[in-house]
Chain A
Amino acid sequence: MRLPDRNHMAIAAVVRYPLRSSMLLVAIAIGVAAVLVLTSLGEGARLYVTSQFNSMGTHLLFVTPGKNEVGGLGGMAGSLGGSPRPFTLGDVRSLKRSPYISSTTPMVMGTANINYQGLERDIGVLGTTHTMKRLFEYEVKSGRFLPELDLDNASPVCVIGDTIARELFGTAEPVGKWVRIGDRRVRVIGWLEQGGQSGGRDLDEAVFVPIAFAMQVYNRESVQRMMVEATSDESLVKAKRDVIGIIKARHFGHEDITVMDQGTILSTFNKIFLVLTSTLAGIAAISLAVAGTLIMNVMLVAVSQRTAEIGLLKALGARRSQIIGLFLTEATLLSSLGAVVGVLVGYASIELLRQLVPLVDFQAPDWAVISAVLMAIASGLLFGIMPARHAADLDPVEALAGR
């Protein structure tokens, strides 16, 4: 039996029983499509987070006061209380000494009430500097973002988010008006474009003020967080070394800050998402195992239906390996076709998801697509072996008689 013959016979068998073959295709396709769609959810979420993160530029360091063990819950307690040695604006300014650092963006966060002509609401306050706008690419609707001030200059000005502007001022122009934040009078100098979420905070409900002003309002001398921008990707390591070195020298030899670079944070994210995505893939792959039992079942039926045919082949001198090859070809053909259909359906569903949620770039990772297809074909082979051997072991005489 030549190879073309074998393939021809397998194709003929697939075509002869359209319902049975198409049901097998459906079963395998569901499994493959499920793997694709589910992993695309995980991968889409990962890409979304990564792109949000990378929109800030790629050579950033994140500095928090207090020495934390990364990842542990101790880190949580650290961010809650901070360290006893304050991380002051003087410390921030001292970092300018390093030639590898191009900008520093210190932050102080809090909540307060904002008041304009009797209207009052709760807001998130973010004390920071003018460099924040560039890092997060904020769009200003009217007025301007925080001006470039001396770090110590507690100028009573603020930039307000979109929701706050609409709720306090309605249709009126907020820029130039005086509002009350806590017990201080502040002039609105800017109004931000609708921005959505950033770093877990709703920008539309935030008010930006100069860092020194926020530190006065909350009566604190320590910065809560800081982003340090290195001059280039290459100088990131040197910038990190400098940050630690300078602060350590200023804090009497105590390394009481935690410096993380974007790469470290991203790789942590990636690890988490990889675990999530592979779990989803694993759950979806269970259905491929179920499809495997169906392949085995259908192939067994096929063997019993074609007993006479097998007998004839054997009588004509077909070897055992050839019979096995014939049925394995059929099983593989079915499972590969199923995989192809599954990939098509999967991609179509992912495309649909993209249309529904344009914000997230859903896409099945290559490893998931490849392993889903390979698993589908492998399950065809694996579950095809038993029926194929069963066929090969038939006695030619009895098989010819159709018994």
Chain B
Amino acid sequence: MVSQDVIGFTQRAVLFNRLRSGLTALGIAIGVAAVVVLTSMGEGLNHYMALEFSQFGTNNIRVAPGKPETMGLGPGIMNTLRPLTIEDADALSRLPHVVAATPNRMGRSEVEANDRIRVSTVIGTGPDMADVFQLEMAAGQFLPLDDPLSPRALAVIGATIQEELYGNKSALGDRIRIGGSRYRVVGVADPKGDLLGVNIDESVVIPAARAMELYNVNSVLDITVRFEENAPVDEVVASLRRLMLARHGVEDFNIATQQQMMEVLGSVLGVLTIAVAALGSISLFVGGVGIFTIMTIAVRERTQEIGLLRSIGATQRQIQNLFLSESVVLAVMGGVMGLLLGGIVVGLVSITVPTLPVRFSVPYIIAAELVSVAIGLMAGVAPATHAARLDPLDALRAE
């Protein structure tokens, strides 16, 4: 029996009972579609987070207080005996390759202006923040260069704050009260939305030293260092570490490049995606049970045909191949249908819920297709072997 015959037989067998073949393939298709949709969501989330992280370029390094192995809650909540100071940020900004180093101290306070009060996030930072986080001004300017240790009481307000406290009136030059002290508004930021979990539009930005005074703390939460686009990262990290060690005496800080932070995040989301893919595969397995059942029935129905083939000289291997190829074809059909089905669902999701990030994960799609073929093979082996081992005489005589 030449391979052309195998194809012909398989084709006829699949097409002879279209409804049955279609339903069997549909079982696999649902499983593949589930994997495609679920992993698309995982991948979409991963991609979204990566974009969120890298929207300010990838040449940022975060320096935070506390030993490298941080424990329990984040360093921001914990008090520490080893503060990270504005002077540290200032010193870091003078290193070679470093473009800017911006300290960060956050809190929440009442903001009073124009006879209105609103509780908002207060971000204490340096004049470089606008560059590091690519903040554009709608009016006025960002915090000017000042003595970092005793800066003037100037503030930049977010777009939402401007709208809620001032409406259409210009806030520039006006005095606002933040946590009881008076500040002069020098700038209004463009709407920007979330910036690594903090809504800039609902924040007011003041100099870091003022924020530390306001909240009576001795340490900034972290320092973001921006280095030149094509500077060698390792060298920059090493020089940051050397300088911090020289300033603090002991390694009481930790340095993480954006690359490292993204890798950690990526690996967490990767595990999540694998988990949902595995859950989705339960359906693929059930689909495999379906193929096995249908193939077993097919062998029983076509016992006579097998007997005839055997009696005119078909070998056991050829019979086995016949049924194996049928079950693989069913599985592959299911795989293709599932891909289409999953694609349609993902497409619908991205159209109807644009906020939900979805994105095809090619490796997972390939894996799902391969698994469906493998399931077709495995589910087909037992029935095909059974068919091949049938005694030709008995098979011919069977009803």
Selected from A84, A219, A300, the residue in CB contact (under 8 A) with B19 is A300
List chain A residues, Cβ under 8 A from B23.
Answer: 293-294, 296-297, 300
Main secondary structure on A side of the interface with B: helix
Q: Which residues of B contact A291 (CB under 8 A)?
A: 286, 289-290
Q: Indicate whether A249 reaches chain B with its CB closer than 8 angstroms.
A: no
Known pairs A122-B71, A293-B26; A23 contacts B107 (CB<8 A): no
In the complex, A291→B288 CA distance in Å? 10
B221 CB within 8 Å of chain A: yes
Of A23, A224, A283, A294, the residue contacting B34 (CB under 8 A) is A283
Asked if A322 lies at the interface with its beta carbon under 8 angstroms from chain B, I say: no
- Whether a CB of chain A sits under 8 angstroms from the CB of B106 is yes
Closest 8 CB pairs of A and B: A81-B107, A110-B79, A84-B179, A218-B79, A23-B293, A294-B290, A78-B108, A287-B283
Q: How large is the interface on A (under 10, 10 to 19, 20 to 34, 35 or more residues)?
A: 35 or more
Give 17 A-B pairs besides A83-B107, A284-B279 with Cβ atoms closer than 8 angstroms.
Answer: A27-B289, A27-B290, A34-B282, A67-B119, A74-B108, A74-B119, A81-B217, A84-B214, A110-B79, A125-B79, A200-B72, A221-B216, A287-B283, A289-B30, A293-B23, A300-B20, A301-B294
Asked if B30 and A19 make an inter-chain contact with CB atoms under 8 angstroms apart, the answer reads no
Q: Is B78 a contact of A109 with CB atoms below 8 Å?
A: yes
Where the two chains meet, the residues of A that have a C-beta atom closer than 8 Å to any C-beta of B are 19-20, 23-24, 26-27, 30-31, 34, 38, 66-68, 73-74, 76-84, 86, 108-113, 122, 124-125, 182, 200-202, 205, 214, 217-222, 224, 254, 256, 280, 283-284, 286-287, 289-291, 293-294, 296-298, 300-301
Give the dominant DSSP class at B's interface.
mixed
Tell me, in angstroms, the Cα distance from A112 to B23 when the chains sit together: 65
Say whether B81 contacts A294, CB under 8 Å. no
CA–CA, A299 to B221, complex, Å? Answer: 66
Answer whether residue B67 sits at the interface, using C-beta atoms and an 8 A cutoff: yes
Contacts of B283 in A (CB 8 A): 286-287, 289-290
Interchain CA distance A30-B293 in the complex, whole Å: 15
Cα A283 to Cα B42 in complex, Å, equals 14
Specify which of A20, A221, A284, A300 is in contact with B296 (CB 8 Å cutoff).
A20
Residues A84 and B215 in contact in the complex (CB < 8 Å), given A202-B71, A296-B23? yes
**Chain B residue with the shortest CB-CB distance to A123:** B71
Instruction: Determine how close the nearest CB of chain A comes to the CB of B163; give it in whole angstroms.
Output: 17
Q: How far apart are the CA atoms of A34 and B30 in the complex, in Å?
A: 16
Q: Report 26 cross-chain contacts, Cβ distance below 8 Å, ordered by A residue.
A: A20-B296, A27-B293, A30-B285, A79-B76, A80-B76, A81-B106, A81-B211, A84-B107, A84-B215, A110-B79, A182-B81, A214-B79, A218-B81, A220-B216, A222-B216, A283-B282, A290-B283, A290-B286, A290-B290, A294-B24, A296-B23, A297-B23, A297-B24, A297-B294, A298-B294, A301-B20
